[in-house]
Structure 1
C-alpha cells in the first residue's frame, strides 16, 4: 500500500512522554480559545512538525547514502512529501512577529507543494486572529512542539498513531456531546471490526468517517493477526471540513498513504461512484449521525444513485437513508457491513414499511444490542446491525439476535467493552446458535409476523449480572425494555407512543 516509512529504531519517546508532550501543547491554549476548538490548532501543528522532522530524517539518510551530496538528498524522489525551505518548521520557528500568519502561510505552501496528497489536510483554522492567538502564545506553542523530534526513529507510526488517538479522545472529553461527530467508542469499533473480519486486499469504506477511527480499525485488525495490511484500500467521506482533515492526518500519522478521504455530504453528493452507480466495497463500517433532520428528502425520493430501494425516510430521521446508502455500497459477492445505530431504528412505526422490505431482502444477518453509555456522551443504548449481501447457506432466511446489554464495564465515568465482552459476543456471532438469555436465531418469516419489528427483547430475554449466565432474573418483557430506553433518551421518547400502540394492538 504505497511507500511505507522506514523504521530505523533508536531510543523512542515513551507513550507517557508522548501523551504529556501532546497534551502539554493543548493546555497552552487554555484561556485563549474554547476547549472544543483545541483540535483545529493542535492537530495541524502536530502534523506539520511530523512532516518536517521526517523530511529532515529522509534528508540525513540520503546525505549518508550519497556521501554528502546535498543536491541528490534534496531531490523530490528522496522524500514522501515536499517541504519548501521557507515553509519548514525551522523557518516558522524563527518568526517573532505575525507568527499566526507565518504558520498559515507555511501550511498552505506545504499543501500547494503536495496537491495530490495533502490538499486541504490542515483544515481552515484562523491562525491570523491575534485576539485569540497572540504572538507570544503561538511562540510558546511552537517551542513546546520543538521540544521533541517526531522522526520515524524517535516516534514510530504505531506510537504516534496511539498518541494521536489519545488526543482525539481527550478533545472529545473536553468538547462535550458535539464530539460524537468525530469520535466513536473505540471498544465498540473494535467489536464491529472483529465481527466483520476484514481480509488482506479488501476495500474498507466509512460513509461518515469522522476522524477515520473505523477505517484504521481494519488495519489494526490485520496487524494484530500478523496478516498483510498494506494492501487494504481505505475510503471515507466526511461532511465537516475540520473533521475530514483530522481523519486524513490520522491515517497519514499511522504510516498509510494509499487512501481516499473526501469532504462532502454522503446523502446529497456521494463521493465514490462508478458511472451512474455507487462504488462497491467489501467492508462497510459506519456510525451515521443520529436522526438528522436537515437533509434533502425530496431528492431522495427520486435518488439519482438508486439508493431508495426500500423507500423514503421521514424528514426528521435520515437513519434509513444512510442504511440504504450502505447496502447499495456493498459488494454483491461478499459485501458486509456493521452499522452503529440507536435502538429506535429497530422498531419505529414510521419506518415499518422500509423495515419490512429490508427483512424480505434477507440482508440483515445480526442485530446486536449493547449496553448504555457506549454512544459518546449519551446514555442511550446502542445496537450494531450486521448486514451481508451474500449470506452463507446456513444463515439465509434468518436473523441472529444478540442481547449483550450486560456486556459493558464502567470505570471513571467511561463505559467500554472489555476483551472478554468482545470475545463473548464474537464467539456467539461466529457460532450462530441459540444461547438462553443471550442469542436467538429467528426466521425472517417469524420476524415478518411480528410486523418486521427487530426490537431485541421480542426475541431474546435478558439476564442479570455481567452476562455470564448466572443469577438469572425474571424475563424482561418488551414494555419494560421500552420503558428503560425511554428513560435513557429524549430522542427515543418521540416514538414510544407509536411503539406501545403497536404492541397493545
Structure 2
C-alpha cells in the first residue's frame, strides 16, 4: 500500500466514530492511534529483547537501566509492557485497562507524546461508547512498520490526515503543514548555497524549525542532506505550539533516531526554546495572517527592554509573520562560524504591507539595508497549499553572502512553474515535479538576469516618503505667515510623495512637483525612509488590447451563431 491508500484506509477507520463524535473531533482520536500503531510496529522486532532487558536490569540505577533498554530497542525509546496492539485483541473485555497499561509502559519521552494527545481521556471516551476495541482492531490490520512505510511516507500520511481533519474543523490556512513539494524546493534552495559547509567530513549540521508542525521540513532536510552529503551529521530542532502536531513531530523524531529533547513544546514568540543555541540552517512555514494578540504583552515587553529578538520593529498585531523572521534571524549561526541560511514561506503581506515608518517597513529596511540578509525571494504557484490558494513566496536569507551577492537581492518568478494535479487535495491543485524543482534551483544558482529572474540592489526597494506642503491663504488669496514670516501650511492641501532612494529628492521635487505646484515645499521633519518589495510589478507584462475591428468581427460571428441556433428551435 502506498501512503495515499494507507491514509485512505485510516480515514475509513474514522467512519466508526460517526454518530458518537462530531467531525471536528475525529482527528483528536485517529491521529494518536496512527502514531501508536507506528510506534508499535517500529518496536515489534526488538520487543522480546526489551522485555528481557527490563527483567535483567531490575534494581539498577535509572540512568543505567534506561541506557540498556534503549540499546535493546535500538532506538531512543522503548516499551516495557508485555502487550503489543495485536495482543490487546485477545482480551476485548479489558481493552481499556490493558491499552492504558500498554501505553504507560512507554519510556518517558514517548509517554509525553500520548499525554500531549490527551490519549487516556480519549481511551475512556471510546470505551464508554463501546468503540475502543473496534478502533484497536482496525488499526492492527495495517502495517505501519518502517519496512512497509518509510519515514518520508509516514510523514506524508500524518500530513494527509492533518489536512483533512483541519479542513473539517476550519483550521487556519497553512497553520500546521506545508506541501512536501514546496518543502523540497525550500530545502534545496538552502542546501544549494552551502556546498562548502556541508561537504566537510563529519560536519555537524543543525537545522531548526520554530513552527515545526509535524516535523515535515526537518525530516526532509535530514533526508536531503544525507542524500547529497552522506558524511554530514544532521541534528534536528523544532518548537511547536499545537499539542497534537507537537506530539506527532516528537514521535516522528524519535522513530528516526533523533533526540526527543530537541523538539520543544510551547509558543516560539513568548517561550523560545534552546536558549542561546544557534543554527546553520532554518526552514519554516509560519502561519499566514494570524494575529499575535495572545503574545502581545510578552513580545512588546521584550521589544521595550532593549529589543531582544524584535529590535528591528513590531508588525501590526493582525499578522505575526515578520516576528518569526526576526526570531529566526536571532537564531542564525554567526558569520564567523560559517554563517546561517534560512528558507521561510510567507504570503504577499511581508513584501509590501506597511508605509514608511511602520513596523513592517522598518523590519524590511533592517533585513535589506542594515543587515543585508535577503538573498533571494521565489514566488510560488497559486493553488499550491492545501488550505489556501493565495500567492506565497519563499524568502532565502543568508548572513554570509558570497561577494557577488552582497548588496543584491534575486527575485525569481516561479508562479507559472507547476504541473496540474490529476486530483486536487483541498485547495492544492498545482504541484512541482522533481525536474521543476531542479530548474528553479538552477536559476537561483546561476544568479543571472532572465525573463523570470531579476537582480536588484537592496537600495532599489527603498524610498523616502516626503510631505509636500502648500501655503495657507486668507479670504483674499494672500499667503498666511507665522511670526517669522514663513508661510503656514494648509493641512487640507497636504500631500505625500514616495521618492526612490536612488533619486535625488531635490531634483525629483523640482521635476515632478514644482511644475504643477510652484508654491509647494517639502517639510524635511516629516520625511521617512521606507522599504517595500513590489514583486509582481517587476514581472508585469503588458498585454496589448485587441484591435477593435477584430473584436467587432467576433461579435458579428457570435450574433450569427446565436441567430442560427434560435432559427433551429423556431424562434
What is the root-mean-square deviation of aligned Cα atoms in Å?
3.3
Q: Could you say if the C-alpha distance between residues 363 and 17 of structure 1 is closer, same or farther in structure 2, counting changes exceeding 3 Å?
A: closer
Note if 1:29 corresponds to 2:17: yes
Alignment of 1:356-505 (within 5 A): 356-360=365-369, 361-411=371-421, 412-413=423-424, 414-436=429-451, 438-449=452-463, 450=500, 451-458=530-537, 460-462=538-540, 473=543
1:434, CA displacement in angstroms? 0.7
CA distance in 2, matches of 1:27, 1:303: 53
1:442, CA displacement in angstroms? 0.3
1:306, CA displacement in angstroms? 1.4
Could you state the TM-score of these two structures normalised by the residue count of structure 2? 0.69
1:343 is matched with which residue? Answer: 348
1:222 is matched with which residue? Answer: 225
- Stretches of structure 1 that go unaligned for 5 or more consecutive residues are 1-12, 464-471, 476-505
Is the CA contact (8 Å cut-off) linking 2:413 and 2:453 kept in structure 1? yes
- Stretches of structure 2 that go unaligned for 5 or more consecutive residues are 59-67, 464-499, 501-529, 546-571
CA distance in 1, matches of 2:215, 2:384: 18
Q: Give every structure 1 segment of 4 or more consecutive aligned residues whose post-TM-superposition deviation is greater than 6 Å.
A: 72-75
Is the CA contact (8 Å cut-off) linking 1:97 and 1:135 kept in structure 2? no
Is the CA contact (8 Å cut-off) linking 2:177 and 2:285 kept in structure 1? no
1:220, CA displacement in angstroms? 2.4
Bigger mean CA offset, 343-352 vs 256-265:
256-265
Note if 1:115 corresponds to 2:108: yes
1:159, CA displacement in angstroms? 5.2
1:71, CA displacement in angstroms? 5.7
Alignment of 1:62-461 (within 5 A): 76=69, 77-79=71-73, 80=75, 81-85=77-81, 88-90=84-86, 92-97=88-93, 99-100=95-96, 102-107=98-103, 109-111=104-106, 114-116=107-109, 118-121=111-114, 123-125=117-119, 126-130=121-125, 134=128, 136-152=130-146, 157=151, 160-172=154-166, 174-178=168-172, 180-197=174-191, 199=198, 201-225=204-228, 227-228=230-231, 231-257=233-259, 260-274=262-276, 279-291=277-289, 292-294=291-293, 295-296=295-296, 297-302=299-304, 306-333=308-335, 334-349=339-354, 350=358, 351-360=360-369, 361-411=371-421, 412-413=423-424, 414-436=429-451, 438-449=452-463, 450=500, 451-458=530-537, 460-461=538-539
Deviations 1:116-139 (Å, cap 9, x if unpaired)?
554234521431454x66453221
CA distance in 2, matches of 1:394, 1:205: 27
2:482 is matched with which residue? Answer: none
Q: Could you say if the C-alpha distance between residues 373 and 110 of structure 1 is closer, same or farther in structure 2, counting changes exceeding 3 Å?
A: farther
1:143, CA displacement in angstroms? 1.0
Deviations 1:48-72 (Å, cap 9, x if unpaired)?
2333344341145789xxxx99966
SS in 1 for 2:211: coil
CA distance in 2, matches of 1:162, 1:354: 35
Could you state the TM-score of these two structures normalised by the residue count of structure 1? 0.77
SS in 2 for 1:435: coil
Is the CA contact (8 Å cut-off) linking 2:152 and 2:220 kept in structure 1? no
SS in 1 for 2:130: helix
Note if 1:49 corresponds to 2:37: yes
Aligned residue pair count: 440
CA distance in 2, matches of 1:221, 1:403: 24
CA distance in 2, matches of 1:22, 1:135: 20
